[in-house]
Structures are given as structure tokens and as C-alpha cells.
Amino acid sequence: MPITYTSGEQVEVYRFSIPVTIGVPLLALFLQAFIPLRFPRFAVYVDLPLLVTIFFAISRRSPIAGLFTGAVIGLAQDMLGHNPIGIYGIAKTVVGYGASSLGVKLDVENAGARLLVTLAFYLLHSAVYFTIARGLVNMTQQWSWGHGILAALVNGVLGVFLYFLLDRFKQRT
Amino acid sequence: MESVLGRYRNLIILAGVLFLQVIGLAVQVKRIGNEEKDTRLIRIWAVGAVAPFERAVVWVQNSASGVWHNYFYLRGVRAENRQLKEQIEQMRLEQVRLTEDAAQARRLQNLLAFKEQFVSKTVAAQVIGSGGSDLSRIIYIDKGEQDGLKRDMAVITADGVVGKVLQVFKTPSVSQVLLISDQSSGVGAILEKSRLQGVLRGTANGEVVLERVMSDEQVQTGETVLTSGGDQIFPKGLPVGTVTKVGTGKDLFLSIKIKPAANLSKLEEVLVLVEKQERQAVAEDKGTRVRAADILAQRLPSVPDKPVVDPNAKPANGQEAAGSATNAKPGTKPPASGVSPGTKAATSPTRPPGATASGSVPVTSAKPKMTTTAASAPAVKTDGAADPEASITEQKPPVAPAAEPNSQPPADDNSPH
């Protein structure tokens, strides 16, 4: 099992420079809006802002920083679309909080752990989004386990590669 | 107390941030109220918190009043009931008459005040981005307020309807376009053959369906769907898509899946209809109707008008007439003695009496391969002055029967049937 339990003192906490903190989420949002023009299926299966949220939340290992990171990235993603602003914000706030809380307790630095964590948080994100969109905003939504799991796997695999790429920007505290 | 706050600090902050966002959502989200007006969700919640108490008070009040009026105070009810029945009979008769009047009014309205919308001005725009989510099917285009774009303008491509302008920005000059495949969109549509009308909507999984078509109607797959113009956004008659699947839907309506005519997943350039004109529909003028025979006749070579002939002039022999025709320059009007002014070859499309088997009749000139220049079209007849039909052959430069000896005999198939 790749996930290992560690004490809080053993887990390393990272920080990021300001350009990376701002630039990486912005780049993820831009790619999320631009790539579907060439590859329409991209928006159906991939959520780059979510992957970035999970990465920053886990690396910082601070629940408050994680939830604020998720809230800001989610609200920015909401602004791209035409649905009410806040649906992605709430979903990513929950994911940011959850991922950073998990990061405090578990060592999720290896590829297997990252795949599982991303898969789980993608499903959590979809569930929260579905609940808010259907219950609060009254949008017509259909839950599909097949699509959800497939998309979670795609994001998980993509996340593993993306996290290794983003690891280069980590700075030890 | 402080220890509790410190212990659950993270959770409290999480709850606070989520609460703020939920309130923010509630301020934005609008629900359709009883009076068909948009109402903000936060107002609905506020009303929902107070309404049960108000309802309880009113219920007690009505119950007490109902008991009194329904069980104790029934004086004069029988007489009133009889009077109301008579009134209902009269109103039924009136209803029949009004229904007839309404139908007549609709027919007259269609005849007299029917207006059609025509596209008069469009702005071409480049697609520069998307919503980035399959739950928000929108695109961004590089034209905005400065280019004359406004909210609710129709967006199309050469293939068909794309969507409508949802938001327009000034700086930067871009606009947000809601695609017809989004679940919040709606387009008034009509089936081309069956003339059934419905509302085109997107679904959560990105499909496009036609709603509000009754289940007892017959809809064929492959039928074309056009805009009906009823939404006041898209002009009538623009192609929307084709029917791909027909099934039974909810509540007595058919479930009709549509394949959009425009490729919504790969849009690069679109047109925004910035100006529409309303024109009164004009009834077809039957007096100017063109027959098929006339159209065919127009394709056939015409006979130039006869020049004014001087009656005192010395009569010319046939050789001179033919020579003058042979030396005629292309584009000049050759003399046409023997042909009455205004007479056209097309009016006698059948083979003329003087025509030869080699096709030296004007009918053959209708074929494009027979067309040639005047320079390469030598005159073949010399006695054209005596034969009116032959003179036509000589005087029409593009006709060159002699240039193609292997040409087919006169084409009788060109004659109008």
C-alpha cells in the first residue's frame, strides 16, 4: 500500500514562490478554457484547476491555506462559465480542505498514493458539485457512475504526471 | 470557550467560507416565482422561513370562516344555484361563438400582419475560448460591445444556428455566447416538413433535443429542423439540425434528439446577427409567374432586332446580304433581312424547315460546347437573305455548326414540353 501513516513532525511542509502560486492556477484555468476548442472531450473528462488545487493543498499541508486555495481557484473557474458563481468555489473549497487535512496525516508523495488521492477527491468534487447544482441552483444534472469513475481515472493519471512536474517548484520551509 | 475555538478553528473557518459562498450563490440564483418573475433564492429562503407561520394563521382563520359559511349560513343557496346553471348555459353558447371569432382572427392575422425577419447585417467573429466545463457550454468570441454586439443577438455559422450572445464586454472587447447545446438555452424551432413546432434545448450531457411536440404526432428521422422565429432572437428559417432519434418522452410529449447543423464542438469562426429587418410578407403575384417554357426560351439564342430598312434603298441580292453577314464583327448587330423585328429564335424551338442535319439551327447553340467566337465561325449559308431561319444561323456569332462537324443533330430535347 503506497499510503503510509506518519506523524505531523515527519511530514514535510512546502511553500511556493508568489509567481508560482499565482501563475500555475492561472495557467491551469487558461488551458481548461482553451484546450476544449481543439479537443472538445477535454472539458468532459479533465479538470486541471482541481488537480492544481489538490497539489497545492497537499503540499502546503495547512487546512486553512488549502480551503482558501480551493475557494479562489474554484471561484475563478466559476467566472469562466455562465452558471452562478460559487458552485465550483464550494466544491473546491471542500476538496482543498480535505486534501490538506489528509496531507497533514498521510504521506502522499509517491505515485500510487497520488493516483488514489486524486481519484477520491475527483469523486468528492463531483458529488459536491452535483449536490449544489441540483439542490441549490436547480440545474438539471444526471449522475453517472461510469462517467465519474472514468473521469476520475483520467484525472488521476494526468495528476500523477502533473504533480511530478510541479514538484520542481516546491520550496522547503 | 477559547479552547473549543482553537480546537475546531479549521472547521469553523471552513464552515464560514462555505456559508459565505452559499449566501453568495443564493443572492445570484433566481427561481421562477408564481408571477413568472425571477426571484432571488435568498428571498425565497427568507419567505420560506416566515411563510409557515403566516400560513398557519390564515388556515385557522379560513377554517373558522368555512365552518360558518358552509354549514350554518346556507340561506338562498338553491335559488342561487339555479341562477348559476342558467348562466353557465348562456356562457357556453357565448364560448362557441368566441372560439369561432378567435379562429377567424388568427387566420386574418396570418394573412394581413404576418411579418418575416431577414438578416440584414452580420459581424464575423473568431472563437477564442470556452467555458472550460461540460456543464457550462459557452464560447468566447473576439467581438464585443465596441463592435456593435448586444445581449441576445443570434450567433450562426454557414451551416446553421450556434447560439446567442449571453454577455457583452467592453474592455476587452469580447462576448460570451451560449451554445444551443447548453441546458439553459432555448430556441423556437419548427420541423421543415411536418411543420410541427417545439422548443430546442440542450441536455446535461450536451445533447440537443426538441421538446413540446405532442406524442400523437408523427416525426420522421432525418427531417430538417429550422428556427421558427418565435423566440424573437433567431430569424425564421435558419437551419438548426436534423432529427436523429424519436422516442416517447415525459408527459405526452415526444423525445426528439437533434443533431445540430453547425459543428458546435469545433467552432472557429461565427457570424453574429447584429441587425434584423422585419418585412411584411408579400403575397405572390400570380400575374408575373414565369413558365418553364419561358425559362428555356431565354436560354436559346435570340434574334437581333430588325434594323430599319429604307424602302427607297436599292434591293440587294442574296450574295451581298450573305457577305455582309460574314464580314460582321463580333458584337456588332448584323443585318437581318427577312426576320421580323422582335422575333426570337426561342419562340420557335422546334427544328425549322430549313435546318440541316448537321445542326445548323439555332437550337444547337444552347449547348455550351457549341459556343465559339465569331472569328472562328464562318458563315455556311449564302442565301440567308431569302431564308429567315438561315439568316439567324449566320447572324448569331456564337453558333458554329460548321466548326464541329461531328456535332449531334438538332437537339429537340431543348424544346419545352
DSSP string, B245-310: EEEE-STTBEEEEEEESS-TTS--EEEEEEEEEEEE-----GGGPPPHHHHHHHHSPPPPPPPPPP
One domain for residues B33 and B101: no
- The Cα of A72 is separated from the nearest Cα of chain B by a number of Å equal to 11
- Tell me which chain A residues have a C-beta less than 8 angstroms from the C-beta of B129: 33-34, 37, 80
ipTM of the assembly? 0.78
One domain for residues B386 and B275: no
- The Cα of B400 is separated from the nearest Cα of chain A by a number of Å equal to 56
Residue B48 in grid coordinates: 420560506
- Tell me which chain A residues have a C-beta less than 8 angstroms from the C-beta of B266: 37, 40
Percentage of residues in chain B with pLDDT exceeding 90?
A: 12
Q: Which of A117-126, B83-92, B125-134, B389-398 has the lowest mean pLDDT?
A: B389-398
List residues bridging with B277 in a β-sheet. Answer: B118
Report the residue of chain A nearest B24, measured CA to CA.
A86
**Residue B115 — very low, low, confident or very high, per pLDDT cuts 50/70/90?**
low
Check B26 against A136: CB less than 8 A apart.
Answer: yes
Please tell me which of the candidates B21, B130, B178 has its beta carbon nearest to residue A43.
Answer: B130
Helix intervals (H) in B169-221 = none
pTM of the model: 0.57
Q: What pLDDT is attached to residue B304?
A: 57
Residue B69 falls inside a structural domain? no
One domain for residues B268 and B126: yes
**Residue B390 — very low, low, confident or very high, per pLDDT cuts 50/70/90?**
very low
Residue B405 falls inside a structural domain? yes
Interface with A, mutate which of B18, B31, B133, B136 (most A CBs under 10 A): B133
- The Cα of A13 is separated from the nearest Cα of chain B by a number of Å equal to 17
Type of residue found at A13: V
Domain limits, chain A? 4-167
CB B364 within 8 A of CB B415: no
Helix (H, G, I), strand (E, B) or coil at A171: strand
Residue B143 falls inside a structural domain? yes
Phi/psi at B329 (5° precision)? -80, 155
Using beta carbons and an 8 Å cutoff, which residues of A are at the interface with B?
29, 32-34, 36-37, 40, 43-44, 63-64, 67-68, 71, 75, 77, 80-90, 93-94, 97, 101, 129, 132-133, 136-142
Q: What pLDDT is attached to residue B257?
A: 92
Residue B123 falls inside a structural domain? yes
pLDDT digits (tens, 9 = 90+) for B163-191: 999 888 877 788 889 999 998 889 999 99
Q: What pLDDT is attached to residue B112?
A: 60
Q: What pLDDT is attached to residue B49?
A: 65
Residue B128 falls inside a structural domain? yes
One domain for residues B264 and B385: no
Domain A4-167 grouped into CATH 1.20.120:
no
B42 touches chain A (CB under 8 A): no
Over residues B14-43, the mean pLDDT reads 73
More confidently predicted of B138 and B249: B138
Rounded-to-integer distance, Cα A91 and Cα B26, Å = 16
Long-range contacts made by residues A132-139, C-beta under 8 angstroms, separation at least 24? A132/A87, A132/A90, A132/A91, A132/B25, A133/A83, A133/A87, A133/B135, A136/B22, A136/B25, A136/B26, A136/B29, A136/B41, A137/A83, A137/A84, A137/A87, A137/B25, A137/B29, A138/B29, A138/B31, A139/A83, A139/B135, A139/B183, A139/B204
Interface with A, mutate which of B22, B39, B134 (most A CBs under 10 A): B134
B39 touches chain A (CB under 8 A): no
pLDDT digits (tens, 9 = 90+) for A60-106: 888 999 999 999 999 989 888 888 888 999 999 999 999 999 888 87
Report the residue of chain A nearest B179, measured CA to CA.
A82
One domain for residues B372 and B273: no
Residue-wise burial string across A45-77, b where 16 or more C-beta atoms lie within 10 A, e elsewhere = bbbbbbbbbbbbbbbbbbbbbbbbbbbbbbbbb
- The Cα of B374 is separated from the nearest Cα of chain A by a number of Å equal to 56
Average per-residue pLDDT for chain B: 69
Please tell me which of the candidates A77, A81, A133 has its beta carbon nearest to residue B138.
Answer: A81
Over residues B98-125, the mean pLDDT reads 73
More confidently predicted of B116 and B329: B116
**Residue B345 — very low, low, confident or very high, per pLDDT cuts 50/70/90?**
very low
How many structural domains compose chain B? Answer: 4
One domain for residues B382 and B413: yes
- Tell me which chain A residues have a C-beta less than 8 angstroms from the C-beta of B263: none
One domain for residues B174 and B242: yes
Report the residue of chain A nearest B40, measured CA to CA.
A137
Check B24 against A68: CB less than 8 A apart.
Answer: no
Residue A85 in grid coordinates: 458563481
One domain for residues B243 and B304: no
B129 touches chain A (CB under 8 A): yes
Q: How far is CA A2 from CA A16, A108, A117, B179, B303, in A?
A: 25, 8, 11, 44, 95
**Residue B297 — very low, low, confident or very high, per pLDDT cuts 50/70/90?**
low
Check A140 against B167: CB less than 8 A apart.
Answer: no
Residue B132 falls inside a structural domain? yes
Q: Which of B30-44, B150-164, B342-356 has the lowest mean pLDDT?
A: B342-356
- The Cα of A1 is separated from the nearest Cα of chain B by a number of Å equal to 29
One domain for residues B324 and B198: no
Type of residue found at A70: G
Type of residue found at A38: R
One domain for residues B205 and B302: no
Long-range contacts made by residues A163-171, C-beta under 8 angstroms, separation at least 24? A163/A51, A163/A55, A163/A114, A164/A111, A166/A24, A166/A52, A166/A55, A169/A16, A169/A17, A169/A20, A169/A24, A170/A14, A170/A15, A170/A16, A170/A59, A171/A14, A171/A15, A171/A16, A171/A17
Over residues B397-403, the mean pLDDT reads 39
- The Cα of B59 is separated from the nearest Cα of chain A by a number of Å equal to 29
Rounded-to-integer distance, Cα B222 and Cα B255, Å = 15
B121 touches chain A (CB under 8 A): no
> If you count DSSP H runs as helices and E runs as strands, how many of each does chain A have, helices first?
7, 4
One domain for residues B341 and B352: yes
CB B42 within 8 A of CB B23: yes
- Tell me which chain B residues have a C-beta less than 8 angstroms from the C-beta of A139: 135, 183, 204
CA atoms within 13 A on the CB side of B244: 10
- Domain range for B104 is 75-112
CB B300 within 8 A of CB B414: yes
One domain for residues B174 and B296: no
Rounded-to-integer distance, Cα A29 and Cα A73, Å = 8
